[in-house]
Chains A and B, each alone.
Chain A
Amino acid sequence: MTVDVLERQGVGSAGALPATRTPPADTAPAVEPVLSIDGLSVGTGNVDIVIDVSLAVAPGETLCLVGESGCGKSLTCLAAMGLLADPVRLKAGSVSLQGRELTGLDEKHLRQIRGRDMAMIFQDPAASLNPVQRVGRQVAEALVVHEGLGMRAAMHRAVELLDRVGIVNATSRAEAYPHQLSGGMCQRVMIAMALACRPRLIIADESTTALDVTTQAQILKLMKTLQQETGTAMIFVTHDLSVVAEIADRVAVMYSGRIVETGLVDDIFDHPGHPYTRGLMDCRLHALSATSERLAAIAGTVPRPAARPSGCAFRTRCPKAAERCETLPLPRGFAAGQTVACHFSGPAQ
């Protein structure tokens, strides 16, 4: 029934989307990307926070954006959604959704696109949901606004969506206020809202970080299943590499505002090319593969954008740093489909 529900709701264009995930073999997807970001720079005044970021995500593909806090992951997503707020602004670059340029669009047009063609799920559902409105109505709102449904029809579909995201007794839960639901339930509501208009792109910013591990496992599984059914492209921001292992097709690693490595998820885990990626891999802790050895920590912290070192921003924390790191390393091929911005990265064996 699940597919039917979405099928009935939709505009009938499901055939155009591949039902299965098709991870592209190269960093530049062979299929026309759903979203492509090109040379994106974001900042305030004369400080650049995100610098020259280029990304593309294909239909049905999940791209994970990885890095420590303060690396610019969230700002990149907000810029893609056209949600930058003063004093942070777009300085350069383009963002196009299904070939349509979004930068320079006015708020009226952006509002038509957000929620309909692209949707975002944030970390804290409690802060994103309206506390004084019943959750069913909040899901229905998108359908009223974007698909011109009447409130009754929209509510009917909202209940179907809530059922689809695994909320039992959806009919009665639709009448609940957010505070009456658990964190995991609220996050399911957020997913239902994001899915309501069957967007081509979902951006999930640390969407499972605040959840307990059992809830997180359920939500990740749910998002994967729904993605396989609808062929939605997904950008998944996280700092947790085990979540990346669960959900990603491709990975982009960000450090201090730049993308320092991209590649297929297996390649990133099997042979990380950038010292930063390697550092992140090494200080991971997993309950099933624990060692009693001392952890390999990356010394220091991410520099603030205003105090970013010249050249390679990672050089102040990098075990390999040398004189040539004072010039900026350009991204270059490391292995098939894997790009690394480091002077020391030779091709993988």
Chain B
Amino acid sequence: MTVAAIELRDVSRHYRGKGSWFLKAEPVRAVDGVDIALNEGETLGIVGESGSGKSTLGRIAAGIEAPSSGHVSFRGAPYAPIGSALWRRQRRNVQVVFQNPSQALDPRLSIAAQIRQPMTAHGIEAGDDTVAEMLARVGLAGLGNRFPHQLSGGQLQRAVIARALALSPDVIVCDEAVSALDVSVQAQILNLLQDLQAEFGVAYLFISHDLGVVRHVSHRIAVMRHGRIVETGPAAVVFAQPQDHYTRSLIAALPAASPAARRARDGRQSASLSKVR
């Protein structure tokens, strides 16, 4: 068996909850006993509603946050303590792309400088050619001298992706990476992510609340609820034959793909209702 890029075994993350003077604080179980593995070069989608713990899971997988209990390993080796020299070397291979690119970029630095920064931090020689190549790869050729406020939301997200790619990581954790973008731009970014995966073999832990997006990009999907994973499986199977009732309720709540599909569904619902009566 091959070693997974990232593996989480029985991982939990509890935060101290809010109590009051007569009530003991119950811990918030943001992540509660999760087992998942992200294989090399694959996309694992994590879906769930807000508060399901998917972002915390992403932070733990990226090594930015330590779990309260359980084991996280990167290519078979456990993450070193946060802040240590070894941890820094490990972190080089796992990058993160967050939802809001304008918050993820420094407003006072040019795009090129921000792409160079992680390379300099890891002691890698970063010539102008390397940076220009990264920019071209994400479709921002010639825009390196621009500042964040001069670019659109889609372009900014491309810059963030270029910065994440600069260290040629094995894994990129995408936390709602396309959720803030318009559909047309979202499609551009999803295509770019898929191209980069084909070219560099990077694996994605793709976290999103948007089931359509997750289905499109993911090989496998894990459905999260209340900090636990309620269902995992190949993307097509999870949607075609959902096993868990929560997954089924998520799918049932999806808006219709077209007015005709809506009428078909409403017809089925009223038919089954009248049967009950």
Contacts and interface: CB of A to CB of B under 8 A. Distances in A.
Contacts of B183: 68, 239-241, 280, 283-284
Contact of A245 (B185, B187, B262): B262
Interface stretch (A86-94, A97-105, A147-155, A294-302): A294-302
B35 to A, nearest CB: 24
The DSSP consensus for interface residues of chain A is loop
B209 interface: yes
Given A217-B253, A287-B251, A297 B188 contact: yes
A279 B251 CA distance: 25
Q: Chain B interface: which size bin?
A: 35 or more
Contacts of A279: 184
A245 B255 contact: yes
A93 B203 CA distance: 53
Contact of A243 (B190, B210, B255): B255
Contacts of B211: 213, 287
B2 interface: no
B216 A301 contact: no
Nearest to A183: B50
Given A68-B183, A246-B262, A290 B216 contact: yes
B259 to A, nearest CB: 5
Contact of B209 (A213, A246, A301): A213
A14 B261 CA distance: 32
Contacts of A183: 50
Contact of A286 (B236, B250, B252, B254): B254
Contacts of B260: 266, 269-270
A246 B252 CA distance: 13
A13 interface: no
Nearest to A284: B183
A216 interface: yes
B249 interface: yes
B187 A288 contact: no
A263 to B, nearest CB: 12
Contact of B49 (A68, A213, A296): A213
Interface in B245-268: 249-262
B147 interface: no
Most B Cβ at <10 Å: residue of A68, A242, A285, A288: A285
A169 interface: no
Interface of A: 68-69, 183, 212-214, 216-217, 220, 239-243, 245-246, 248, 265-266, 269-270, 279-280, 283-291, 294-299, 301-302
15 contacts: A68-B184, A212-B209, A214-B253, A243-B255, A245-B255, A269-B258, A269-B260, A286-B254, A287-B211, A288-B257, A290-B216, A295-B191, A297-B187, A297-B191, A301-B184
Given A214-B250, A299-B188, 19 more contacts: A68-B183, A68-B185, A213-B250, A213-B253, A213-B254, A217-B252, A217-B254, A248-B259, A266-B259, A283-B184, A283-B186, A284-B257, A285-B216, A287-B212, A288-B251, A290-B212, A295-B190, A297-B184, A301-B184
Interface of B: 49-50, 152-155, 182-188, 190-191, 194, 209-216, 235-236, 239, 249-262
